[in-house]
Amino acid sequence: MKLFDARQNTFCRRVRHKLALCKRHARVAARGRGGRFFVWRHAEHGVAEHRPKGPSTCGELLDWPRRHCQDIWQNTHEGSQRKTRAGLNLKRGVVLHSDYTGHMSAETGVRLQMFGMIESGMEGSLDHVICWATCDKKKTSQAIIKAASREPGGPHHLFDNVLDHLPAVHRDKLKSMRPPVHKNKNVRMTAEEKKLQKKLQIQECKDAYNKQQKFVQNIAARGAFENQRRAACLIHPNKQCLMQWQSSVLPEGRRPLSWNISGPVCVAFSAFGSRQGLADASAEPFHVWGASVADSEHDLVTCENSDEMPAKVFYDALSLRCDASCPPKWQVVELILNNTDFGPD
């Protein structure tokens, strides 16, 4: 099955199921460098405007990218200006990176969007979308990514763990800071005692992961997340491949948009998980991801998670703190999507 074929019904069913599960919250951080931010300015403005309901069948999904682009660029008074801005930003291409890749929904979605842009009359090519690196621990996801890598436009590299962004010496130090594992002992306790014990254990985990976050951010400030970082690649066995795209892989003068699209584990905040927030074990890779993208040269960073994840968690992960005399390092756009945005179930 070709995951990147916009006319595959099997892919449509998978994406349709993915979108209909629950409300999702996407936070997009963009560097304010010249016109590169404008590709997201139109997205921010578009939130308040009326949008027709999304696709509810596979056939409608196939036509959705084109209709969506036409709605943004042709059916509004700012349409032509938006189209010009998007064309200027995307004409040199897009290089995608993703952590927590899953079944490659983000990569495929970007290609569907590019397909819609081309169908709407914008000059471009699907070859302008380069899937440089993906990262996921699940074996099922890895199998899908490996299969996609053999197709045109597939990912170039696959890594096993978000912690691969760190050198081995820092990974070992980070692991040593994990909270202790409490084994269940056959000790009789009252319900109140059990509740208190659980509360203390959660606080212990939260304190440990907070220390990890400070450690990761401190080593990031000292250059631990170097741009030339290499790690074991599952697509190229026995090789150490670059985790970050390098400008040398493209002809001189062609500077594409660099974009990290990631969906950190949401069980820490959603109703389907522990709801323990940063006391959950998923906090460890999340802190590493946040520090790695904050210190990167990406133009755009997209974080997709439960709508119940507090905004402060995202801001802290990317160290988005500044005073009135210091301009922000990133500009943030927040979008909350419900399954009704994509049509009835």
Phi, psi of 129 (to 5 degrees): -100, 110
pLDDT value of position 7: 36
Tell me the one-letter amino acid at 140: T
- pLDDT by residue for the chain (345 residues), tens only, comes to 333 333 333 333 333 333 333 345 676 776 643 322 222 322 333 333 445 566 778 777 777 777 777 777 665 667 777 777 777 777 778 889 999 998 888 888 788 777 777 777 777 777 778 899 999 999 999 999 999 999 888 999 999 999 999 988 999 999 999 998 877 666 788 888 888 988 999 999 999 999 999 999 999 888 888 777 899 999 999 999 999 887 665 656 667 888 999 989 888 888 888 889 999 999 999 999 999 888 788 888 888 888 888 888 888 888 775 444 445 667 777 777 665 555 444
Contact 340, 20 (CB under 8 A): no
Tokens 């160290």 correspond to 319
pLDDT value of position 330: 73
Neighbours of 110 (CB within 10 A): 18
Residues 6+ apart with CB under 8 A from 338: 23
pLDDT value of position 237: 92
As a whole number of Å, the CA-based R_g of the chain is 21
pLDDT value of position 205: 94
Residues 6+ apart with CB under 8 A from 274: 267, 268, 280
Q: What is the DSSP letter of 180?
A: P
pLDDT value of position 35: 27
pLDDT value of position 241: 93
